[in-house]
Amino acid sequence: MRDKANTLFYILGSFFVANALLAEFIGVKIFSLEKLLGIQPINLSFFGESNLSFNLTAGVLLWPVVFIMTDIINEYFGRKGVRFMSFTAAVLIAYAFLMVYFAMGLSPADFWIERKTMNGTVNMDLAFNAIFGQGLWIIAGSLVAFLIGQLVDVYVFHFLRSFTGSSKIWLRATGSTLVSQFIDSFVVLLIAFYFGAGWDLSLVLAIGLVNYIYKFTVAVFLTPLLYLLHSLIDRYLGQELSDKLIEDAAIASKVN
């Protein structure tokens, strides 16, 4: 029975870490949600800032999945499991960025530098450095926001569970995600752009709110996925082992 539990933790943890890493690296691309949906820019106004549209980093496509995985791990393995995976992901993200910066400093081979494309000649070395060369403030902000968001998610999840018991998965999972993503949305921008780049606080708060509106909407729409994953996991573990893991996780989280 424990083999199934260990396998589940390995699978959930691997998917969690992989998505966190991917979200960091694809986050350098900014896309227009309105263009993707084929609609006109919404042009919101907050904190005195106008013409705000849903221009988002590609990383937001994966962060809601990361927080869902957080809630699933939380449900079956408690605070200890989430903390372990969160710090593991943070260390691996920092390591990945360190290796990328090392790669950026390597002398490029002459034949690789220029490549002809349909849109003209591309300097591959400059393109590589431009894409992967995120500023240190952005990296720091992202890592701090990730860890704070994860720890807040764990706390809110079990706080709500103390009222709901084993029922109302949607409330504790979606509720904890909405709170943690609210904090995550603003922490990364404050560190990276308010302290790091000197942006006006009103602009940082306005962009953070636009980002959170998107995350809030996605988190609500993804709630049924929690029940699907829960059902698949229960079927894999068997009801007896599933109930035991959930109960043990709840008891251990109260102690911790």
pLDDT in tens, 175-206: 888 888 888 888 888 887 788 767 788 888 88
Q: Specify the DSSP element, H or E, that contains 219.
A: helix 201-221
pLDDT in tens, 91-139: 998 898 888 888 888 898 888 888 887 777 888 888 888 877 766 667 7
pLDDT of residue 27: 77
Tally Cβ neighbours within 10 Å of residue 36. Answer: 10
pLDDT of residue 256: 55
Give me the residue spans of the domains in the chain.
2-255
- Under a CB-based contact definition with an 8 Å cutoff, are residues 136 and 117 in contact? no
pLDDT in tens, 83-103: 898 899 989 988 988 888 888
Give the β-pairing of 44-46 and 49-52.
antiparallel
